[in-house]
Amino acid sequence: MTPAPSTAPAAAFIPDTASTRQYIGAWSVLSVLQYFAAEAAVIAAWAGPRPYDLRTGYISDLGA
């Protein structure tokens, strides 16, 4: 019977928190910008009976 190999345990994985926060922050900023860009594009293409109005229009009017 041979003894078990003696290897050092693997080091614990410590994520780079600052990098993760930057990626999440960048993703959230891009998501907000994409939302407003898509909303502006859909409003510009609105073909309803009256011009689309942000004050009285509902999100369901835009088909979302």
**Local confidence pLDDT in tens for the 64 residues of the chain:** 666 666 656 677 777 777 888 899 999 999 999 988 988 888 888 887 888 877 877 666 556 5
In this prediction, residue 6 carries a pLDDT of 62
Which residues are CB-neighbours of 54 under 8 A, at least 6 positions away? 43
Which contacts of 1-9 are long-range, i.e. CB under 8 A and separated by 24 or more positions?
none
Q: What is the pTM of this model?
A: 0.58
For residue 26, what pLDDT is reported? 92
